[in-house]
Amino acid sequence: MSDFYTNAYNPDVLSCLANLSNDEVFTPPDIVNRMLDMLPQELFNNKNATFLDPACKSGVFLREIAKRLLTGIEDEIPNLKKRINHIFHKQLFGIAITEMTSLLSRRSVYCSKYPNGKYSISTFDNVEGNIRFKKIKHNWKDEKCTFCGASKSEYDRDEKLETHAYEFIHTTKPEEIFNMKFDVIIGNPPYQLSDGGGMGSSAVPLYHKFVEQAIKLKPRYLSMIIPARWYSGGKGLDTFRNEMLTDNHIRIITDYFNAEDCFPGVDISGGVCFFLWDRDNQGECDVISIRGNTQNKMQRPLLEQSTNTFIRFNESIAIFRKINEKGELRFSEEISPRRPFGLSSSVNSKSTEAFGTVKVFAYPNNGFISRKEINRNEEWIDQYKVFIAKAYGERGDFPYLVTAKPFIGEPNTCCSETYLVAKLCKDKQEAKNVISYMITRFFRFLVLLKKNTQNTSRDVYSLIPLQDFSELWTDEKLYKKYDITKNEIAFIESMIRPMEILNE
């Protein structure tokens, strides 16, 4: 029995499942063990320690905890059969997210889908054991679920289909699910659900609700692996972001800028992270930045002083602080809001110019529209300006471009919401000078420190100092101005690749 449970995982089916790509990502066993390594290891020597995974999919968290406990409490419970029964009955608990994952979790934890059967390594008197699944209904109000924000049109389904109404977050009293306290809550929650918007492509985040619900239970330790998009807030995440980044109970964050470094084959915009929240201890956080095979660790506050920003790369902290000390105005003050001319991305333009029309830069095709269609910032039309795409995404290994290439908008031009106006200029030469700054590695490196998704809103430019645009700018001039060292230059240039000027 011991050999089966400890050695029968080569090849590991859970490693294969971890390569599946969706919003309910399976966790590779090696990542689970990195998360378990953050916990005080004496927990696994304590026969009274209790563990909960509130979002079981493969059962890998409970399985890996069980393997540690089997060794850790051997001195307290020498008899193998008694030790196994004690661990599975008294210490490990899970809430599955679907009926299918409940069966998968029980199979990987108990070695049987049905723990009351003869093949289970620990026999229960019910078909669930301590890994429960209850089919929960959404609580609809104004076409949305009051608990998770799911769209009624998407998830008010036939009873034979999964509702994706996850039990752990569809209650105001999570403590009543098992009626017990937990020392550790750990898992990988579902990330999002469709909210019915954006032609069916829009989604509401869910993962933060699992974190918030877990904290309500006041475990000694909480660890979850979640998308890193929360660093910059956004849709439904602003309050969560502020609470997390000011919570001194978060003692460790391991950050993967590229999600594939954590979940091979899985594309998650903005990367992923896992953290350790410690109820009884406060202090600065150990931030572990992982980029490919490179790992850097630094103890620091999550919010950088004098900013409302979490800076992901430890190596960039000294660079940012030198720049910030000068107290210069920020480039973000020049960036327009979304829809600078009030035009949507679906603006209906003509292919030929006519009297009274304005050239409009839009995706996928530029064209011409009547001046009368422009309902915002009409005075900008006849000025020189610099445009830049609002969204730009990259995947894979560094170095990145980070942003799209900026370009000059001459008088009698405007743009749809596909673009932002980066800066209004008095003449063409000033516009060229602005672009010379925007294409530097220095400029785009500072964008990277704020950019956690493909969107580049005004706030993404808030770490960038404003320059004198009566002159051209180069990286060499900027490195000298801000006293950037050779090692810091090497780091910047390992992250950012050169960009050529798009137009004259």
Full DSSP string of 352-405: S--TTEEEEE-SS--EEEEGGG--S-GGGTTSEEEEEESB----SSSPB--SPP
Given this model, what pLDDT does residue 21 score?
34
Phi-psi region of 155 (alpha: psi -120 to 50; beta: other; left: phi over 0): alpha
User: Looking at the domain assignment, is residue 304 inside a domain?
Assistant: no
The answer as to whether 307 is a domain residue is no
- Whether 68 and 202 map to the same domain: the answer is yes
Q: Which of 226, 252, 277 is the last residue of a domain?
A: 226
pLDDT for position 503: 52
Do residue 208 and residue 342 come from a single domain?
Answer: no
- In a domain, residue 404? The reply is yes
**In-domain check, residue 361:** yes
According to DSSP H, which parts of 184-326 are helical?
A: 207-216, 238-245, 317-324
Q: How are strands ordered across the β-sheet holding 357-361?
A: 367-370, 357-361, 413-415
Residue at which a domain ends, from 179, 196, 226: 226
CA distance 56 to 62: 9
Tell whether 30 is covered by a domain: yes
Phi, psi dihedral angles at 434 (to 5 degrees) = -60, -45
Local confidence pLDDT in tens for the 504 residues of the chain: 444 444 443 445 555 445 443 456 889 999 999 999 999 999 999 999 999 999 999 999 999 999 999 999 999 999 999 999 999 999 999 999 999 899 999 999 999 999 999 999 999 999 999 999 999 999 999 999 999 988 888 888 877 777 889 999 999 999 999 999 999 999 999 998 866 554 444 678 999 999 999 999 999 999 999 999 999 887 789 999 999 999 999 999 999 988 999 998 888 888 999 999 999 999 999 999 998 888 999 999 999 877 888 998 999 999 999 999 999 999 999 999 999 999 998 899 999 999 999 999 998 899 999 999 999 999 999 999 999 999 998 877 889 999 999 999 999 999 999 999 999 999 999 999 999 999 999 999 999 998 877 878 888 999 999 999 999 999 999 999 999 999 999 999 999 999 987 554
Q: What local confidence, expressed as pLDDT, does residue 107 receive? A: 94
Same domain, 60 and 181: yes
Are both 199 and 337 inside the same structural domain?
A: no
Q: With respect to residue 314, please indicate whether it lies within any of the assigned structural domains.
A: no
Q: Which domain holds residue 383?
A: 331-495
218 and 339 co-located in one domain:
no
> Which among 226, 248, 265 is the end of a domain?
226
Q: Is 478 exposed, middle or buried (0-12, 13-18, 19+ CB in 10 A)?
A: buried
pTM above 0.85, yes or no: yes
Q: Would you call 57 exposed, middle or buried from its count of C-beta atoms within 10 A (0-12, 13-18, 19+)?
A: buried
Does residue 29 sit in helix, strand or coil? Answer: helix
In which region does residue 265 sit, left (phi positive, over 0), alpha (psi from -120 to 50) or beta (all else)?
left
Is 202 part of any domain? yes
User: Does 129 reside within a domain?
Assistant: yes
The contacts of residue 411 (CB under 8 Å, 6+ apart) are 381, 382, 383, 384
Total of domains in the chain: 2
Q: Crossing angle for the helix pair 207-216 and 238-245, nearest 10 degrees?
A: 50
Same domain for 344 and 219, yes or no, is no
Determine how β-strand 407-409 pairs with β-strand 131-132.
Answer: unpaired
Residue 265, pLDDT score: 85
Question: Residue 158's pLDDT is what?
Answer: 78
Amino acid of residue 123: T
358 and 212 in a single domain? The answer is no
Q: Are residues 338 and 217 in the same domain?
A: no
> Token digits for 399?
């170095």
